[in-house]
């Protein structure tokens, strides 16, 4: 039986390279280091007009389903595009939670690196553009699945306007709006 040599014909060479590439992608997907420092972008969008909420502070909890808020909250901020980047790692040596002054005036971490967890819970000082919870709470937010966020992305509902989003893998899009004066009184 003849052996196909990958260096003789251009078509055969392309075929061999694509098989090698598929094999390497397959191996990387099964690798225990596949979780090593994966990134999630949290995008804060004004649900009324679809504009990014730039330089705003958010709280992030990364935890496990059994105890989603067992780890402390992490204060971070969005950039000029309304995006807060977060990296997840299994390596304790890579964790970065060194606090600094944020644009909103609070102390927090820009581009934090945190220990991987099953869920990501995000809170902000804005009204979520979702159906209200029975208790009228505007800050309560269920944790998102980290796996879902990494594999397909997540976009919350938008009851504040017509803006929509199609998230990409590694992205969480939150539609929010500023509080009305009477909502601020409830705080």
pLDDT digits (tens, 9 = 90+) for 19-76: 444 444 444 443 333 445 699 999 999 999 999 999 999 989 888 766 655 666 789 9
Do residue 93 and residue 168 come from a single domain? yes
Do residue 15 and residue 75 come from a single domain? no
Do residue 19 and residue 82 come from a single domain? no
Query: How is residue 173 written in tokens?
Result: 């899009």
Do residue 140 and residue 167 come from a single domain? yes
Burial 58-78 (b: 16+ CB within 10 A, else e): bbbbbbeeeebeeeeebbbbb
Say how many domains are in the chain.
2
Range of the domain at 6: 1-30
Do residue 94 and residue 65 come from a single domain? yes
Dihedral (Cα; 29, 32, 35, 37), 10-degree rounding? -120
Give 93 or 6, the one with higher predicted confidence.
93
Do residue 133 and residue 43 come from a single domain? yes
pLDDT of residue 12 exceeding 50, the answer is: no
What local confidence, expressed as pLDDT, does residue 100 receive? 82
Do residue 137 and residue 164 come from a single domain? yes
What local confidence, expressed as pLDDT, does residue 19 receive? 45
pLDDT for 75-113, tens place per residue? Answer: 999 999 999 999 998 887 777 777 888 887 878 888 888
Do residue 59 and residue 23 come from a single domain? no
**Residue 52: strand pairing partners:** 45
Do residue 95 and residue 25 come from a single domain? no
Please report, for the domain that includes residue 112, its CATH number. Answer: 2.60.40
Do residue 45 and residue 117 come from a single domain? yes
Q: Can you spell out the DSSP letters for 93-155?
A: GG-B---EE-TTSSEE-SS-EEE--SEEEEEESSEESSPPPTT--SS--PPEEHHHHHHT-EE
Do residue 10 and residue 76 come from a single domain? no
Least confident of 40-49, 70-79, 156-165, 172-181: 70-79
């Amino acid at each position: 039986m003849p052996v196909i040599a990958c260096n003789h014909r251009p078509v055969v060479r392309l075929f061999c390279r694509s098989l090698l590439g598929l094999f390497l992608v397959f191996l990387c997907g099964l690798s225990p280091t596949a979780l090593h420092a994966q990134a999630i972008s949290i995008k804060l969008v004004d649900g009324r007009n679809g504009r990014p909420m730039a330089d705003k502070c958010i709280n992030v909890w990364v935890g496990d389903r059994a105890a989603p808020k067992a780890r402390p909250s992490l204060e971070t901020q969005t950039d000029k595009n309304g995006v807060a980047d977060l990296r997840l790692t299994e390596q304790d040596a890579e964790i970065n939670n060194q606090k600094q002054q944020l644009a909103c005036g609070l102390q927090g971490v820009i581009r934090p690196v945190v220990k991987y967890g099953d869920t990501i819970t995000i809170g902000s000082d804005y009204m979520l553009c979702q159906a209200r919870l029975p208790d009228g709470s505007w800050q309560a937010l269920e944790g998102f699945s980290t796996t879902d966020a990494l594999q397909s992305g997540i976009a919350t509902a938008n009851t504040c306007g017509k803006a929509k989003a199609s998230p990409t893998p590694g992205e969480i899009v939150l539609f929010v709006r500023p509080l009305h004066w009477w909502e601020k009184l409830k705080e």
